[in-house]
Copies of this chain bind each other. A is one copy, B any other.
Amino acid sequence: MAAPENTLHSTDSPLKRQREDEVNGVSDTLSKEPQPNGLSSVIPGWFSEISPMWPGEAHSLKVEKILFQGKSDYQDVMVFQSATYGKVLILDGVIQLTERDECAYQEMITHLPLCSIPNPKKVLVIGGGDGGVLREVARHSSVEKIDICEIDKMVVDVSKEYFPDIAVGFADPRVTLNIGDGVAFLKAAPEGTYDAVIVDSSDPIGPAQELFEKPFFESVARALRPGGVVCTQAESIWLHMHIIEDIVVNCRQVFKGSVNYAWTTVPTYPSGMIGFMLCSTEGPSVDFKHPVNPIDENDSQQAARPLKFYNREIHSAAFCLPSFAKRAIASKEN
């Protein structure tokens, strides 16, 4: 296949390459560095998600056709048509979304915070360059202004080209797109600007690393109004309990309202789930477990594109944790 280029292009080359690493018919690819795009020789014709973030396991999807491969200033970007999960967006070899299950992540990371406060008006999205979180924020008629700061323009362009049902979020007139560093954007934001900040980041290896560190949380807290809320991607309790414990410790120091962990099923994420940290700043208290701002499913605005995943019951259920995770998080409480 063509070498990655820093421009939009599509290719339908078959996924064939010589397997130089074979000895006696046996590949030991997995003990070496994975290919940056995941299209290694591991399973020819399939995409395998291999990462030091989840050693010893790999989820694979059958590839029908590669639609895009590129290399931005920040990461490798790939889109392929899968056999059974629709189109798939890959960044640095890691699945970001599939058309089949993106609803779970996008709806939960958005409505868990926005349904927990009355009348959110100003919302900031950090990351989220695919537009899916914007699409979900736009369901809230109280919202007047949606800022988004995505570091990688290629993600936005690719999403608009290949995922129109997700990138539709950019079409909302309340949205202002900023291409740049989310950390710098937050620092420059006037204090107390936002009702809610949603951090839709990739994993802490790569361009999103800073978004898991304490100075970033301090910037978020500063940019939020009193009693404002943040929801940030916070990994899986099955794989990364220690990362989560560190995030909890940081958040408890920074966010003086409440600090909670919630989770949702997402089949194509490692361990089949992903978690979120939901925190509020000092001010009007926020009880995340009991949403005060329901999305009315009978609203005519929602009828054309009904929620697939989120509802009031699953909102509250998301905060119920298995005992091992509950104990680990409780051990970090002040």
Instruction: List chain A positions with a Cβ less than 8 A from chain B.
Output: 16-19, 22, 24-28, 30-31, 41-46, 48, 54-62, 82-85, 100-101, 103-104, 236, 238-239, 263, 265-267, 269-273, 306-311, 313-314, 316-318, 320-324, 326
Contact = CB atoms under 8 A, between A and B. Distances in A.
A27 B18 CA distance: 11
Contacts of A101: 238
A29 to B, nearest CB: 8
Contacts of A265: 238, 263, 265, 271-273, 322
Given A316-B317, A317-B320, 20 more contacts: A16-B24, A16-B25, A22-B25, A28-B45, A31-B45, A43-B48, A55-B84, A57-B60, A57-B84, A58-B60, A101-B238, A236-B267, A272-B273, A273-B273, A308-B324, A309-B322, A309-B323, A310-B323, A313-B320, A317-B317
Q: Is the interface of A mostly helix, strand, loop or mixed?
A: loop
Contacts of A62: 30, 55-57
Contacts of A17: 25-26
Nearest to A239: B267
A269 B271 CA distance: 9
Contacts of A322: 104, 265, 308-311, 314
Contacts of A321: 313-314
Contact of A238 (B60, B263, B267, B307): B267
A89 B236 CA distance: 23
Contacts of A82: 56
Contacts of A83: 55-56
| Ranked 8 nearest A-B pairs via Cβ | A272-B272, A56-B84, A56-B83, A317-B317, A317-B320, A267-B271, A313-B320, A56-B62
Contact of A56 (B28, B85, B306): B85
Contacts of A61: 56-57
Contacts of A85: 56-57
Report which residue of A22, A306, A320 has the largest number of chain B beta carbons within 10 angstroms of its beta carbon.
A320
16 contacts: A26-B44, A28-B44, A30-B45, A31-B45, A54-B84, A55-B62, A55-B84, A57-B61, A57-B62, A57-B85, A238-B265, A265-B272, A267-B270, A267-B271, A272-B273, A314-B320
Nearest to A263: B265
Residue among A83, A267, A273, A324 with the highest chain B CB neighbour number at 10 A = A267
